[in-house]
Amino acid sequence: MASLDLERVLKIPDDYEGFPTSLFCVPKHYEDSIGNVLITHGTIQDRIEKLARDVFYDFYKQNKEPVHAICVLKGGYKFFSDLLDKVNALNSNHSEGSVPISVDFIRLKSYENTESSGEVNIIGLDNLDSLAGKNVLIVEDIIDTGKTMKKLLNTIQKYRPKSVKVACLLRKRTPLSSGYIPDYVGFEIPDKFVIGYALDYNEYFRDLLHICVISENGIQKFKV
């Protein structure tokens, strides 16, 4: 899969191996289940700080209009929390103005006939009509093929928001990609199964601080 041709993304090459887990603190119960550390927790935080500045100033230039941030659960909760904390820090320390932020949390479930409808069932947002006229920021952990996100955007657009932007921490290079490009991307990563920083494998590894590649032993150990 071709790389994103974007200036505001950190690209991790396909041949990048990462770092041995022995160099970092990882939970004992995961030591035999992780391949290498692909992105350290510190690097994640530094990159999110830059994304927060991009988000803040992009909306600040739009007459400081309010932003309605929507977190896609479960995997997006840590990225969402850290991103908004950093945006709010800018709000608190910017002498010339701030950007009001409101929040919502959703989960996505595809309809049985997703191929024909092109939509997803949005769970957790009581009234989608409330999005009308708002500047919406969708915050997602990882975009793989991009098909689910395109369906979500197709659904949300029907409720007439003023604008919709998408921020994702990770965008995977995969031959299955629909070609969808988010507005804000933290890292572009190789086509590998990654876990940690709220990204899971069968609900495990969400409590791992770093983003890592799961090992074959980890796949077998936590298989359901």
Task: Please tell me the predicted confidence (pLDDT) of residue 6.
Answer: 65
User: Of residues 14, 46, 58, 144, which has the active-site annotation?
Assistant: 144
DSSP result, the chain: -PPP--SS-EEPPTT---EEGGGS---GGGTTTEEEEEE-HHHHHHHHHHHHHHHHHHHHTTTT--EEEEEETTTTHHHHHHHHHHHHHHHHH-TT----EEEEEEEEEE-TTHHHH--EEEES-S-GGGGTT-EEEEEEEEESSSHHHHHHHHHHHTT--SEEEEEEEEEE--TT------SEEEEEE-S--EEBTTB-BTTBSTT-SSEEEEPHHHHHHT--
Per-residue pLDDT of 15-32, as tens digits, reads: 999 999 999 999 999 999
Assigned token pair, 193: 């199964």
Q: Is 116's pLDDT higher than 50? A: no
Phi, psi of 108 (to 5 degrees): -115, 140
Per-residue pLDDT of 60-84, as tens digits, reads: 998 888 999 999 999 999 999 999 9
Assigned token pair, 33: 């289940």
Report, as an integer, the average pLDDT of 37-55: 97
- In contact, 181 and 161? CB cutoff 8 Å: no
Per-residue pLDDT of 125-165, as tens digits, reads: 778 889 999 999 999 999 988 888 998 999 899 999 999 99
Query: Is this structure's pTM higher than 0.75?
Result: yes
Q: How far apart are CA 110 and CA 155, in angstroms?
A: 11
Per-residue pLDDT of 77-103, as tens digits, reads: 999 999 999 999 999 998 888 999 999
Task: Please tell me the predicted confidence (pLDDT) of residue 224.
Answer: 87
Q: Is 3's pLDDT higher than 70? A: no
Query: Does the active-site annotation cover 144?
Result: yes
